[in-house]
Structure 1
Amino acid sequence: MEQQERVQILKDIINIDSTNGNEEAVASYLSDLFARHGIDSKKVQFAEKRANLVSEIGESGKRVLGFSGHMDVVDAGDLSKWSFPPFEATEKDGKLYGRGSTDMKSGLAAMVIAMIELKDEKKALPGKVKLLATVGEEVGELGAEQLTSNGYADDLDALVIGEPSGPQICFAHKGSMNYTVTSIGKNAHSSMPQLGVNAIDNLMLFYNEVEKFVASVNETSKLLGDFTHNATVVTGGNQVNSIPEFAKLQGNIRTIPEVDNAEIQSVFKKIVDRLNEQADVKLNLVWDYNKLPVFSDKDSSIAKLAQQGYKNKMGESIPLVASPGTTDAAEFIKAKKEFPVIIFGPGNAQLAHQVDECVDVKNYLDMIDIYKEMVINYFNQ
């Protein structure tokens, strides 16, 4: 495939506004692209306008190598702050700008093109490469959860997730939890607060107790670092001279094995239950998102092949690291058998979700070749 065609394919999928909830347009584009090269695909419908895509190349053999990338992107935000329209891919000074360019349509496109070129070049693959393109990664890893529960990951022997990893390979990452706490109070005039119940005050009781718990945590992970908690969204009240009858707090937690998801759920429940024993306190806790930490084998064959492929292409070594962020791997590792996972893709995660998100074009093109070499060497071991 010519370089310009490789770039145009990435531009085409960046131009599709697949802000969470509209991923099927990307799945349809990729399915049509695969079909033009004699590769079958299957859509796995998640909801209206939302479909995962599963595609395979190679022959039935001893092993299956998984490629995975998500098709959704986060909202572009204030369009006036962008130098270029976020859904009109713009190439300038060796970079390609657009929402999703780095997170993670460049990784997805690189994997797709690697599969197509291996097929067109008639490379003998004594096994299968399976692409699992997902919906809803940004808001709950919804597609990965669906594909895993439906058995699409059960035959994998290794998995590469093409999230932007910078010049490094990730083999482990923290868990992630999102929660919502609501507080129900009673309206009253602010001049007579004794007649009401201040929902914000009661919500702050919860927040203060959580912060006490966070401050008491001394455990850390040598690999992943510290457990973290952040209150990220707070709403409440509707008029400055009225006692608020409703307030809501949402927070995000990054977990480590030393302070794991189950422990956090237990501690938070105890805090809410204890506070609700007080008169006029009515708190409700809901867990919106609960993803486990991911640990893989640092010395797995797929990790070594990624390192070797990068060195062969770029002439320099690349480190193996752990990441604070979460990925679809948190769902795929729930498959019936255990397999090694790496996160390895073009782009820089620090540019993800940013205004003027971009990817280095050379980095994207290089990753296509690296993926191809990894596949060939994986099956020739």
Structure 2
Amino acid sequence: MRLTEAERRLLDGIEGERLTDLLKRLVQANSENPTGTERAVAEIVAAELEAAGLRVERQPVERDRFNVIAGLEGSRPERLLFNGHMDTVPAGDLGLWTDDPWAAAVRDGKLFGLGSADMKAGVAAMIEAIRALSLSGASFERGLLFTAVVDEEVGFKGTKALLAEGKLANCEMACVSEPTGLRIGNRLKGALEFSARTSGRSAHTGIAFAGDNAIYKMGRYLEELRRYNDALKERADDADLRYPTVNVGKVSGGVGVTLVPDRCELEFDRQVLPGETMEAAEREIRELTEAFSRREGVDVELILRQKFDNWSVADSEAVVRGLAGALRDLHGAEPEYAGFNGYAEVELLAAAGIPSVLYGPGTLDTAHAPNEFVPLDEALAAAKAYALWAYRFMTAAV
């Protein structure tokens, strides 16, 4: 399907300079999570949407934090959902950054700054696309809903609030603007996050034989998890997601060298690939732990803290076909597909019955790290893809 004259005019309305200016302002507004708030970013997003002629709703999520919701109405109730998050991870050691993390420096066609790739560039590109659609003068049969949400980096509170309050009613399909390098993200790992505890008996180190060292016990359990992790490497070899893993992220115990520790705790996760089930992966961890305890005589208190479902979407789904068709006509080539090696709210949307994809500028390779950046040409390309796909959905051309 070639571009129509109306579609060409729509795409001509997307401006790279304005997009870059918006992205700069979003990056300059600190929205670290959990140490800060998204409020400054949310106010910029709301003002941009209002200036484009949209009615904006500020949905309270918790104190000083709110989602931004806006849309373009069609004559029918069906809607396409564009979703992006406004928070970032903490900047970490500022000494590792070449520029201030909030300077939004531009060099060599790239914009540097905390959250530039994950995912303020995607949010800015969606807003620029919506602006072009709003000012196009077109009549729409179906609608578009845009949600900029809080707390994606920690607990998904923003998108959970959208679902709990019925804000996503009539959304037939969705796109989350995660940094996929302009590939269509069609699969995602799940995760099971556990804590484990061993207990012992405290004693002075001078009479350590009178104590029971909880850290030694945990060390044996750690070795069990390491062997399990090695075995998981044989399970699969997805080109992007590779294989399931167990990662021990934190170990704590004891109070000092002069005391035998009576407690040791660790936190670990089990990454679950599409094709595995969350239930089977959890059962493996529990059975491994029970078998270890029986064999070694070590009680391990195991708690599942939280879980994120794995996810995939078939190429035959309308949401994939719609985005793929827009990309094909924009670039004259078949789109690329990718597994996404991070958490994303797409699995919440899918669980709510909304078929979804991931698509956005930038990559995870630079996100969550010093000197994060996004290529500005990718942000512009994403804005055009969002606009064309949405236009075709809204005019019922797809």
The answer to whether TM tops 0.5 is: yes
Contact 1:183 1:282 (C-alpha < 8 Å) held by counterparts: yes
Q: Give 1:195 shift.
A: 1.7
Q: Distance in 1 between matches of 2:302 and 2:40?
A: 36
The percentage of aligned residue pairs carrying the same residue is 24
Tell me the SS of whatever aligns to 1:158. Answer: strand
SS in 2 for 1:69: strand
Q: Which deviates the most, 212-221 or 237-246?
A: 212-221
Q: Aligned-pair distance for 1:117?
A: 1.7
Q: Which residue of 1 aligns with 2:4?
A: none
In the TM superposition, what is the alpha-carbon distance from 1:237 to its structure 2 partner? 2.1
Counting only pairs closer than 5 Å after superposition, residues 113-192 of structure 1 correspond to structure 2 as: 113-192=128-207
C-alpha change, 1:175 and 1:221, in structure 2 (3 Å) is farther
Q: Are 2:193 and 2:307, in contact at CA under 8 Å, matched by a contact in 1?
A: yes
The Cα offsets for residues 91-111 of structure 1, whole Å up to 9 and x where unpaired, read as 112111100000000001111
Q: Aligned residue for 1:19?
A: 32
> 1:24–1:52: 8 Å Cα contact kept in structure 2?
no
CA distance in 1, matches of 2:357, 2:106: 29
Deviation at 1:348, TM superposition (A): 1.6
Q: How many residues align?
A: 379
Distance 1:70 1:328 in 2: 9
**What secondary structure, in the 3-state scheme, does the structure 2 residue paired with 1:333 have?**
helix
> Distance between the aligned counterparts of 2:365 and 2:71, measured in 1?
31
1:251, distance to aligned residue in structure 2 (A): 1.3
- 3-state secondary structure, aligned to 1:177: strand
**Cα shift at 1:24:** 2.7
Note the C-alpha offset of 1:144: 2.0
8 Å contact kept, 1:69–1:132: yes
Tell me which residue corresponds to 1:193: 208
Give the direction of change, closer, same or farther, for the CA distance of 1:362–1:222 in structure 2 (3 Å limit).
closer
8 Å CA contact retained: 1:153, 1:332:
no
CA offset at residue 266 of structure 1? 2.7
CA RMSD of aligned residues (A): 2.4
> What's the counterpart of residue 220 of structure 1?
236
What is the aligned partner in structure 2 of residue 6 from structure 1? 19
| Pairs within 5 Å for 1:274-293 | 281=298, 283-293=300-310
Query: Are the equivalent residues in 2 in contact too, given 1:94–1:360 (CA < 8 A)?
Result: yes
- Distance (Å, rounded) in 2 between the aligned partners of 1:317 and 1:147: 34
Question: 1:78: Cα distance to partner?
Answer: 0.8
Q: Give the direction of change, closer, same or farther, for the CA distance of 1:184–1:60 in structure 2 (3 Å limit).
A: farther
Q: Does 1:262 align with 2:279?
A: yes
Q: Could you tell me how far 1:79 is from its partner in structure 2?
A: 0.6
Gaps of 5+ in 1: none
Distance 1:205 1:155 in 2: 52
| TM-score, structure 2 normalization | 0.87
In structure 1, how many angstroms separate the alpha carbons of the residues matched to 2:70 and 2:17?
24
C-alpha displacement of 1:287: 2.4
CA contact (8 A) 1:23 1:50 kept: yes
Counterpart code for 1:292: D
| Contact kept in structure 2, 1:219 and 1:258, CA below 8 Å | no
2:337 — aligned with what?
A: 320
- Which residue of the partner structure matches residue 71 of structure 1? 86
Change (3 A) 1:361 1:234: same
Separation in 1, partners of 2:103, 2:387: 28
Distance 1:162 1:279, change over 3 A: closer
Range with greater deviation from structure 2 (264-273 or 152-161): 264-273
Does the aligned pair in 2 maintain the 1:65–1:130 contact within 8 Å? yes
Contact 2:192 2:282 in 1 (8 A): no
Equivalent of 2:355 in 333, 340, 365:
340
SS of alignment partner, residue 303 of structure 2: strand
